């Protein structure tokens, strides 16, 4: 895990930490509310792996779908370095199929900078992500960059915009964010689709 506060603020899905003032209230799943805000925003993939969260000292884990979670959800058999499970992602930005098959723990994984060749490659693949007949986009879940950093296809701008939404609840936003980060499984927007694809990755 890197100790910086992010250097890619202008890139969707990358760091927003350096422009924020309320990071003490961050969770793995969501950024803390800034003054005047009523909607929680999903933590970016870059910040999930690179920026420590005070409320989660054990670190966070990133899913193949680009969702950042507490390490309580980590399953070592799903670690991207060892898993041989199939990818159940249909390739549609609106269809989260099956379940979790790749996890990226922040304790020993770093998210690549946007300029890393791996992320450039993943972003190019993601541009055609919503095409149902695009096997490369459907079967490629992550790219390995310099120093074994990772770029996850779901975290690239084209897909990130479609797959992440803000959480708004004027009544009790803070309690909702806390439950989504630590003990709730309501963050899983999976469908019942069982269309399985072979595991794929691009190594740069």
Q: Tell me if 5 is assigned to some domain.
A: no
For residues 71 and 24, the answer to whether their CB atoms sit within 8 Å is: no
**Cα torsion at 71, 76, 78, 82 (round to 10°)?**
140
Task: Specify the pLDDT at position 19.
Answer: 61
Going 58 to 156 to 160 to 188, the CA torsion angle's sign is negative
Phi, psi for residue 140 in degrees, rounded to 5: -90, 120
- Asked if residue 49 is part of any domain, the answer here is yes
Asked if residue 150 is part of any domain, the answer here is: yes
In a domain, 69, yes or no: yes
Res 131: pLDDT: 59
The reported pTM is: 0.68
Say if 201 falls within a structural domain: no
Containing structural domain, residue 131: 45-162
CB 69 within 8 A of CB 100: no
Q: Is residue 152 part of a domain?
A: yes
Per-residue confidence of the chain (204 residues) as pLDDT tens digits?
543 333 334 344 565 555 666 677 899 999 888 888 888 888 999 999 999 998 888 899 998 888 899 999 999 988 988 876 544 444 444 444 545 578 999 999 999 998 888 888 877 777 765 555 555 555 667 888 888 899 888 887 777 777 666 677 544 444 444 444 443 333 232 222 222 222 334 443
When divided into structural domains, the chain yields a total of 1
In a domain, 30, yes or no: no
CA angle 15, 88, 71 (to 5 degrees): 45
């Amino acid at each position: 895990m890197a100790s910086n506060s992010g250097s890619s603020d202008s890139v969707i899905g990358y760091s927003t930490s350096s422009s924020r003032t309320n990071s003490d209230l961050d969770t793995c799943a969501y950024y803390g509310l800034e003054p005047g805000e009523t909607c929680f925003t999903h933590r970016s993939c870059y910040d999930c792996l690179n920026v420590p969260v005070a409320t989660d000292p054990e670190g966070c884990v990133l899913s193949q779908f680009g969702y950042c979670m507490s390490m309580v959800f980590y399953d070592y058999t799903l670690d991207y370095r060892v898993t041989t499970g199939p990818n159940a992602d249909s390739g549609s930005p609106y269809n989260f199929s099956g379940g979790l098959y790749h996890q990226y723990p922040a304790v020993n994984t770093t998210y690549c900078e946007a300029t890393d060749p791996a992320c450039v490659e993943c972003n190019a693949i993601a541009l055609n992500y919503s095409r149902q007949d695009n096997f490369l986009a459907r079967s490629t879940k992550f790219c390995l960059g310099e120093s074994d950093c990772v770029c996850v296809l779901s975290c690239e701008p084209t897909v990130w915009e479609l797959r992440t939404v803000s959480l708004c609840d004027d009544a009790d936003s803070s309690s909702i964010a806390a439950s989504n980060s630590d003990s709730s499984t309501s963050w899983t927007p999976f469908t019942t689709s069982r269309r399985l694809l072979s595991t794929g990755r691009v190594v740069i």
